[in-house]
Structure 1
Amino acid sequence: MDPLEDVLALLETRSHLSTRLLAGGEWAVRFAAPSGVKFNAVRRGSCLLEVDGVDEPVTLSEGDCYLLTRPRGFTLRSGPGVVPVDAGPVFAKAEDGVARVGCGEDVFLMGGRFSFGLRAQELLLDALPPVVLVPAATGQAETVRWALTAIDQELLHRRMGSTLVAEHLAVVMLVHILRLHLVREARTVSGWLAGLADPVVAAALARMHEEPARPWTVAELARSGAVSRSTLAARFKSAVGQGPLEYLTAWRLELASKQLREGSATVASIARDVGYGSESALSTAFKRVMEVSPHHYRKQSRESSATAVPPDHNRTE
């Protein structure tokens, strides 16, 4: 299995498209901290992006796309010195899925957000910078432009199933953005995501994700990358921040956690599925890493689900 695909599936990645924005003249819009990961793409014109906690504004040109990976407020503006208006009232007055600000139609943005399961922050988002930018001038950005154009067409023509298709295309776009970020900014990425940029480490990750229950040894994993045991151990530790077998343990526990949250299988059955020989072996590892027993974790998860506030899927900005 592909590790990136595995993690995005484990995190139950979903996209939620939002109202588009038309702007012209001098304008500025202030947005509250988004829930999930916010994305926007500039389909026409240019503007500035200012993100709380990021020192310098980001200049956005036609074709550029960005992700905001932290829950931080941000401002989109035509230029410096314009007093921003709150996004809420602007988007509340949207017509035909388009909100307007300023005078004219110089700038057109489309966007939305990605929502994830419980472990997204640690498994994915902490490995990324607060702002991930994909400039249109980047040669590899063609696939992102294709996805954005296809989303535009779905939203414009509103054929049967257009919302579902557009939201799936947005997830495709997310995968391409993460791929491009790995290629362009491999040195700034951390954790398992950084391992995908190293072909030797990526080969070992792929084998572990393909057969997580197999009793892997470092020597066997090293053969998948045609390197020595010591070379794999050193490169894996350098890229991912932990050894191969430590990573394997963590991934098995993530798989076990998902089954405990969502399924009704016994702890003994889950233990066998993820590579532990007995319920007690899984319980020992689970307590060491998660600090609670599997049974307690399942109980906590069900209680949390029963009292959770449903997500607001009607957010437009």
Structure 2
Amino acid sequence: MDVLAGMLDGPRARGAFAIRSVMSPPWSMLIRDQAPLTVVAVVHGEVWVLPRDTPAVRLRAGDVAVARGPDPYVVADDPATPPRIVIHPGQVCTTLSGASLAAQMDLGVRTWGNQRDGATAPPTTMLTGTYQQHSEVSRRLLDALPALAVIRADDWDCPLVPMLAQEIGRDDPGQAAVLDRLLDLLLVTALRAWFARPDTDAPPWWRANGDPVVGHALRLLHNHPERPWTIAALAAATGVSRASFARRFASLVGEPPIAFLTGWRLTLAADLLQEPAATVGAVARQVGYGSPFALSTAFRRRYGVSPQQYRARAHGDRADQPPSDGRPADAPG
């Protein structure tokens, strides 16, 4: 499991909330859902996205944007249109004064908006996927993203947006699983396209994945953190000398192999500790520490609290969140 796979399939990963919005101008939404990651794909029309601290960006049909939370931002038909709708945590949607819009803007299965018969202008249609779970694994990737990463329709050949648009309004058996996988595939494809751009400041470990030696070592560390790795063992597994491997890894990744491994182990441990049935001993074994004490010592050095304190705090934070079965109370469909 590498960082990108871990963000979607790791111990803290959960399916995203997916919805289609059909909006007739004028419209503007203040997004305050505090979600770590949101994917927006424009199907028809155009959309303006206004991050808090960066210039407004216009999206046209076929464009995909990845918005990194939790800072609020505005999505609108025009930068000058003031917000009239607020999206809160749990995807609860209200007016600026707090009145619910769930019934008023329900347009059918997973479809929401202000489009009604008799509208004078063509509506804008966009697909939104919101990843609502916080994760230390995903943080390693999200920290490398800007507030808004935009992939233009002309910059890639991706059939996923029309496919997702076709599937999102269906209510067939297993549809939630279909949407989860399509949305995940769209996100992975978009992130790959973004980090492949020459002008993107991708993290060193991302670019190092393409190196035949260091990339192989990274996959070994990601997939098997529980093994007792040493520089000599990694060098042997990648077919180079110990000194050559250590130099090459540090040069491409930006830190020595064992330092990288320690960081990855503790990142995984932080997510695993948030699982209800996890114990410190079991987590220690899963991430390659010989004892709960060894994990606790390293964990406290990294996070400033013991594993038990970290888990208690995470469970307390979850208890403060509104309950959800994957379809928030104010969501249509």
Fold match by TM threshold 0.5: yes
Alignment partner, residue 109 of structure 1: 126
Matched, 1:181 2:194: yes
Gaps of 5+ in 2: 87-93
| Contact in 1 for aligned 2:42/2:63 (Cα 8 Å) | yes
Q: Deviations over 1:227-276 (max 9, x none)?
A: 55455545544554432211211222233334433254654444333222
Tell me the distance in 1 between the aligned counterparts of 2:50 and 2:306. 44
Q: Deviations over 1:151-210 (max 9, x none)?
A: 222233422232342133212211211222221257412264454355543322101122
- TM-score, normalized by length of structure 1? 0.81
Cα RMSD of the aligned pairs, angstroms, is: 3.2
With over 3 angstroms needed to count, the CA separation of the structure-2 counterparts of 1:186 and 1:81, relative to structure 1, is: closer
Tell me the distance in 1 between the aligned counterparts of 2:189 and 2:22. 24
**CA displacement at 1:66 relative to structure 2:** 0.7
Alignment partner, residue 310 of structure 1: 322
Alignment partner, residue 22 of structure 1: 23
For the residue of structure 2 that corresponds to 1:262, the secondary structure is coil
Tell me the distance in 2 between the aligned counterparts of 1:149 and 1:60. 16
Tell me the distance in 1 between the aligned counterparts of 2:286 and 2:73. 44
Alignment partner, residue 86 of structure 1: 85
Alignment partner, residue 41 of structure 1: 41
Tell me the distance in 2 between the aligned counterparts of 1:258 and 1:81. 41
What letter corresponds to residue 39 of structure 1 in structure 2? V
Alignment partner, residue 5 of structure 2: 5
Greater relative contact order (CA < 8 Å, ≥ 6 in sequence): 2
Q: Deviations over 1:36-90 (max 9, x none)?
A: 12221111122332221113x2221211111111223333344454445335449
Alignment partner, residue 162 of structure 2: 149
Which of 165, 179, 188 aligns to 1:166? It is: 179
Matched, 1:281 2:294: yes
With over 3 angstroms needed to count, the CA separation of the structure-2 counterparts of 1:66 and 1:266, relative to structure 1, is: closer
For the residue of structure 2 that corresponds to 1:71, the secondary structure is coil
- TM-score, normalized by length of structure 2? 0.78
Alignment partner, residue 70 of structure 1: 69
User: Higher mean Cα deviation, 208-217 or 161-170?
Assistant: 161-170
| Contact in 2 for aligned 1:23/1:108 (Cα 8 Å) | no
Which of 99, 103, 120 aligns to 2:113? It is: 99
Tell me the distance in 1 between the aligned counterparts of 2:241 and 2:201. 26
Tell me the distance in 1 between the aligned counterparts of 2:305 and 2:163. 45
For the residue of structure 1 that corresponds to 2:273, the secondary structure is helix
With over 3 angstroms needed to count, the CA separation of the structure-2 counterparts of 1:166 and 1:206, relative to structure 1, is: same
Tell me the distance in 1 between the aligned counterparts of 2:170 and 2:258. 50
| Contact in 2 for aligned 1:192/1:239 (Cα 8 Å) | yes
What letter corresponds to residue 34 of structure 2 in structure 1? S
Bigger helix fraction: 1
| Contact in 1 for aligned 2:194/2:200 (Cα 8 Å) | no
Alignment partner, residue 256 of structure 2: 243
Tell me the distance in 1 between the aligned counterparts of 2:297 and 2:191. 35
**CA displacement at 1:4 relative to structure 2:** 2.2
| Residue-pair matches, total | 309
**CA displacement at 1:310 relative to structure 2:** 2.5
With over 3 angstroms needed to count, the CA separation of the structure-2 counterparts of 1:54 and 1:215, relative to structure 1, is: same
With over 3 angstroms needed to count, the CA separation of the structure-2 counterparts of 1:302 and 1:124, relative to structure 1, is: same
Alignment partner, residue 90 of structure 2: none
Tell me the distance in 1 between the aligned counterparts of 2:297 and 2:163. 49
| Contact in 2 for aligned 1:127/1:193 (Cα 8 Å) | no
Matched, 1:129 2:146: yes
Gaps of 5+ in 1: none
For the residue of structure 2 that corresponds to 1:261, the secondary structure is coil
Tell me the distance in 1 between the aligned counterparts of 2:48 and 2:296. 51
